[in-house]
Amino acid sequence: MDAASCPSLLPSHRCKTVHLIRHAQGIHNVQGEKDHKAYMLPELFDAHLTPLGWQQVDNLRKHVHSCGLSKKVDLVITSPLLRTMQTAVGAFGGESYCDGMDSIPLMTANAGNSSRSAISSLNCPPFLAVEECREHLGVHPCDKRRSISEYKKLFPAIDFSLIENDEDVLWEADVREPIPDVAARGIKFIDWLWTRKEKEIAVVTHSGFLHHTLSKIGNDTHPVIKEEISKHFANCELRSMVLVDRRSVGSEISTTNYPGKIPPGKDLPSDWDEEEEP
């Protein structure tokens, strides 16, 4: 049998589980479905979630709790835009925040016109904002972010330390990021995930970013697999995937492997042939 047609068997320490999630419905999605030109509207700047979008988040939250995913995820990575951060904290954050709690809130009350109560940072994984997993950049105001200073007031417990510039220096009003550049940014982001110690990571990001990145990755897979991983994500859709180190770039040593016979010495299998010994 051809090796390419066989299932892959790889050491577990060279694998991570990544839960990829597209944000819930934003106000720009509603307008864009009616007329694609609406994505150019200035009033859609840094689009926030719709009431339906928040219902989608609540449903996703129920799912990640009922299937046990909320207890498995070691880290939540989010694109630094309102709609992704609202989705991330709504799905994976703590319960409602109350004054006097021994923690800071993940999200303050009514952040981003949400009409939602504050969300606690207790009993949930850490949250990290990462610029590299933002949506297709440029031209569309909905994809331009606010200053990090403003976001820190709305999402106090999200870690923004990896973002160098307070203002958005990536988005350009008259230049749309080329699709190959979006895919290259996505591959760089995936490579960066290997530098993280966490083994199970949730990533809350955007449809365009996911589609172009996964289409590029899918070029090295069977057509059926490529179609499965790169099809467009629905709002608030979650897909769990295994990220595999096929290039020996990982330096980890397995924490579960066991060396076997102790003390060391010859322990030959029953079918060993002395003549085969080099």
Tell me how far apart the alpha carbons of residues 87 and 89 are, in angstroms, rounded to a whole number. 6
Tell me how far apart the alpha carbons of residues 243 and 237 are, in angstroms, rounded to a whole number. 18
To 5 degrees, how large is the angle CA 143–CA 19–CA 124?
90
| Residues 87, 93, 98, 102, CA torsion sign | negative
Q: Is 114 helix (H, G, I), strand (E, B) or coil?
A: coil
Instruction: Given the residues 19, 23, 48, 206, select the one marked as catalytic.
Output: 23
- Tell me, yes or no, if 211 is annotated catalytic: no
Residue 9 CA neighbour count, 13 Å, CB half: 2
Q: Is 106 helix (H, G, I), strand (E, B) or coil?
A: strand
- Tell me, yes or no, if 232 is annotated catalytic: no
Please give the backbone phi and psi of residue 119, each rounded to the nearest 5 degrees, phi first.
-110, 135
Among 256, 244, 251, residue whose Cα is nearest residue 217: 244
Contact (Cβ atoms closer than 8 angstroms) between residue 206 and residue 232: no
Q: Please name the amino acid found at residue 189.
A: F
Instruction: Given the residues 135, 198, 206, 211, select the one marked as catalytic.
Output: 135
Query: 10 burial class (0-12, 13-18, 19+ CB within 10 angstroms)?
Result: exposed
- List the catalytic residues: 23, 135
